[in-house]
Amino acid sequence: MIEYELRESENTLYVVMEKGDIDLATFLKTRRSEIDSTFVKYHWNEMLRCVKIIHDRKIVHSDLKPANFLLVKGRLKLIDFGIAAGIPSDMTAAVKESQMGTLSYMAPEVLQGEGCDGKYKV
C-alpha cells in the first residue's frame, strides 16, 4: 500500500503513486460475472490492510469508499487523501467538527449529527 514519492513546492505537498489499473467501484460496476465469496473476502482483507497501515501511522482517511481503492496488479491501494487528517502524537483519536466524505458512505451517527469520534459500526 505505501509505495509513493513526496514532492513539495511552495505550500503544496504532492504524493506521487504508481498508476493503477481501475478503481474498485468501476471494477465492480463493469464486472459481468457474479462475485464469489473468495473475491469478497480477499478484497475486504485488502481494504482492512490499507486502513490499518494508515491508522498505524496516525492518519484518518475520512472518505473510505470503493472508488478510493485502486486495483494495482491484483492488490488494493488506498487513494485520495484530500480530506485526510493526521492525529497528533499525543492523542489516540481525531475528532472532526464537521461532516466530511461521501454521503452514501458515511456512518448513520455522522449523518444524524452525533459527531465524529471514529467509533462507527461497520
Condensed to tens digits (0 to 9), the pLDDT of residues 14-48 reads 777 778 889 999 999 998 888 899 999 999 999 99
Query: What is the identity of the amino acid at 18?
Result: E
The catalytic residue among 56, 63, 80, 117 is 63
Can you tell me the mean pLDDT for 73-80?
85
The structural domains of the chain, with segments of one domain joined by +, span: 4-88
Of 105 and 72, which is predicted with more confidence?
72
- CATH number for the segment(s) 4-88: 1.10.510.10
Condensed to tens digits (0 to 9), the pLDDT of residues 42-70 reads 999 999 998 898 888 888 777 888 998 99
117 catalytic? Reply is: no
